[in-house]
Amino acid sequence: MNGVAKQIYDWFDERAGLTELGHKMLNEPMPGGSRYTYVFGSILVYIFMMQLVTGILLMFYYAPTADHAYESTQYIIHNVEYGWFILSFHFWGSSVMVVMVVMHMSQVFLWGAYKKPSELVWVVGTILFTLVVAMGFTGYLLPWDQRSFWATTVGIEIADKTPLIGDFIGQFLRGGPTTGAHTINRFFVLHVMILPLSIMGLATLHIYLFRKAGPAGPYKRDHKELTKTSEYFFPRQVYKDSVAIGIVFLITCALAFYEPVELLGEATPEPGDYNPVPEWYFLFLFQLLRYETFSGEWGQIVGSIVIPVAFMVWLIAIPFIFRNPERRPWKRKFGIMTWAIILLAVAYLTYDYSITEIH
């Protein structure tokens, strides 16, 4: 660093504390040493930043109105240079983010890293998981084609079934009695302002609570041994995070190149022969509601509202249910089996839906 550059840096450092901030960020102790199993948090931060960047680029051309949303999306795909790639990257980025959140939560649960003193880290992370799924749901409508319009309509109808507050939720999301011009405006505001700001705020709190509690470290070693084998976040963990981020970036690019976004016809109040299909991470719920057990008004309420809400309450309550300090998975058979059964059930229902559609 030459003299002028050093003077400028020192001026900012004195006022902003850049060096101290860098030390705090990079010199975080890593109990047990750096590991590739620690990369999920950094990957999620990266994906969210990429979603923000690609979303802002799309907003330069997108018109969030019922009259022009479809036309502007088509313009992005066919007329904006690399617009099809940016839109496709943004589309697949939301799916990658959902996958990474589930993997991150599964790894934390498997290692028992939600236990004392990290209970609040888990609770805030669970709320972030809900917001990530909500981001995918609100963004799905914005292209305003038949697929997005009717999948969203079905989703709002499911929310309508919520006891006591269902009518309010439906009216709030639709902005009126039916899905239309007010709906896309509300979903746009939720998708580009309210949810991203909420995620940024909670992610900051999540990181702060994580730093306050400290990394839990591997479950196989006791605290004294972990302390002896600790190393700092920089450089080895930074390298591992960078490799993992690079792999995720390449996968997302490959999906965007080989499976770019293609729109159906423009949204209309009449579905015609189109069969509404939600995003893949809602297919399990869609299939569950097809079963005879959940037919009828109360069956639909149980399948679409009671079970998902009970699952989310269970997720938030996990640190307070499994309070035993034991973290080794083979010593926590009931909890691990419960988590595995839920994941397998979701995978089976998604697979069952796919098979049903094929036949």
Give the model's confidence band at 293: pLDDT under 50 very low, under 70 low, under 90 confident, else very high: confident
- Asked whether residue 222 carries a pLDDT value surpassing 70, the answer given is no
Percent of the chain scored above 70 by pLDDT?
Answer: 94
The residue-averaged pLDDT of 311-337 equals 89
H helix intervals, 190-290: 195-213, 223-228, 238-258, 283-288
The residue-averaged pLDDT of 125-148 equals 94
Pairing of strands 231-232, 29-30: antiparallel
Of 45-54, 139-148, 292-301, the least confident: 292-301
This prediction's pTM = 0.90
Q: What's the pLDDT score for residue 44?
A: 96
The span from the first CA to the last CA of the chain, in angstroms, equals: 66
Give the model's confidence band at 230: pLDDT under 50 very low, under 70 low, under 90 confident, else very high: low
Give the model's confidence band at 358: pLDDT under 50 very low, under 70 low, under 90 confident, else very high: low
- Three-state SS at 175: coil
- Asked whether residue 225 carries a pLDDT value surpassing 60, the answer given is no
Span 83-96, pLDDT tens digits: 999 999 999 999 99
Structure tokens at 154: 């079905």
The residue-averaged pLDDT of 324-338 equals 87
Stated as kind and residue range, the H or E segment containing 231 is: strand 231-232
| CATH class of domain segment(s) 36-214+230-358 | mainly alpha
- Asked whether residue 53 carries a pLDDT value surpassing 90, the answer given is yes
Of 2-16, 90-104, 300-314, the least confident: 2-16
- Asked whether residue 11 carries a pLDDT value surpassing 90, the answer given is no
Separation of alpha carbons 65 and 195, rounded Å: 19
Q: What's the pLDDT score for residue 273?
A: 67
Q: Where are the domains of the chain?
A: 36-214+230-358
Structure tokens at 273: 């022969």
Q: What's the pLDDT score for residue 130?
A: 95
Q: Which residues of 3-40 are buried (b: 16+ CB within 10 A; e: fewer)?
A: eeeeeeeeeeeeeeeeeeeeeeeeebebbbebeeebbb
Percent of the chain scored above 90 by pLDDT?
Answer: 52
